[in-house]
Amino acid sequence: VVAELTKMAEEALPKWGLAMHSKVKLLNLSENATFLAQDAANGHEIVIRMQRRGYSSKEAIRSELAWIEALRNSHTVNTAAPVSCTDGEYIASLKSGNEERLAVAFEKLEGHEPDLSQSDLPHWFEILGRITAKLHAQARAWQYPKWFSRRRWDYEGIIGEHAYWGSWRDAQGMDEKTAELFSQVLEVVKPKVLAFGTSVDRFGVIHGDLRATNLLVDGDKLQLLDFDDMGFGYFLFDFGAALSFMEQSKEAPILASSWVRGYESVRTLSAEEKAMLPVFSILRRLELCAWCGSHSEVPFAKAQGVQITKDSVRLCESFLDGTYLKEEEIQDVCVA
């Protein structure tokens, strides 16, 4: 698969005005395939994102690019500019044999992912919280185009019977006891989320996947990447996404507190909103379990899926006994 996708990327280089035989390097193979292309003639670099089949329509990708353009024009966030093809279009259709993929390209940004082992991670989470609040403020005010079309990350879209990322019941390493525990958690979570509601101050256009792998640190600047999962969702779901795959770490309450501190430097969260932070975090965690189950062919899911489910058992138990990311715990760290 990698060889075929790489060949497709190489053959498509002239679409973006790059010379044939330019260097193409696979950066990441997850749901999408992402390549770095360096022009053999002048060294110019772009990042090509080859879409997975059946996830986003051409109209949905066009909508994603419209929000990125709006965010860049309003100087809300630092993110990569889309790169147009030589024909002026931003979405290319690539074909090789029986394989066909939609693709988009972006300018290459300098920087590196935040180091999860470094002591400055809370600092970057505070900055992420502040950026996220600005992102939400722009989304609340933005008049998106009438043709704008993205998936809806409500309760059903996240974890319902026909969730976009598959069923949590198919999580790797799932057994009867774990399924019963997850079910108990959702029996608590669902009514809370539905009661929280989808009013315009709580639900709108979100990034949906602001985890560490979609961030780039460049000096004192934090840049956002990969808007592929953006859509209409609960604004506080971006909090849950920020903690993705780190919920089980002992630093999670500190990171959560840092995010809240940064967010509240822009917009104060109500007591009701703060009480929902653990709910959206555990909801996201169960969504990640579902993702690993439905994407078992992805290297990360294949290697970590069983452990993620195992760690989620402890997290779910702590959620049910009221000790998971307690509001008091977050507040204490914020005050400290």
* Cα–Cα separations (whole angstroms), residue 310 to 279, 299, 303, 306, 307: 19, 18, 13, 6, 5
Q: Per residue in 187-236, pLDDT tens?
A: 999 999 999 999 999 999 999 999 999 999 999 999 999 999 999 999 99
- pLDDT at 117 (0 to 100): 80
Q: Per residue in 264-305, pLDDT tens?
A: 999 999 999 999 999 999 999 999 999 999 999 888 999 999
- pLDDT at 95 (0 to 100): 85
Which of the pair, 178 or 20, is modelled with greater confidence? Answer: 178
pLDDT tier, 3 (very low <50, low <70, confident <90, very high otherwise): confident
251 residue type, one letter: E
pLDDT tier, 336 (very low <50, low <70, confident <90, very high otherwise): very low
How large is the average pLDDT for residues 158-184? 97
The mean pLDDT of the chain is 94
- CA-atom Rg of the chain in angstroms: 20
- pLDDT at 332 (0 to 100): 54
- pLDDT at 116 (0 to 100): 80
317 residue type, one letter: E
- pLDDT at 268 (0 to 100): 97
The string over 228-260, giving b where at least 16 C-beta atoms fall within 10 Å of a residue's C-beta and e elsewhere, is bbbbbbbbbbbbbbbbbbbbbeebbbbbbbbbb
The dihedrals phi and psi of 160, each to the nearest 5 degrees, come to: -70, -170
- pLDDT at 271 (0 to 100): 95
Distance CA(239)–CA(263), nearest Å, equals: 10
Q: 99 pairs with which residues across the strands?
A: 96
Contacts of 134 (CB under 8 A, 6+ apart): 76, 77, 266
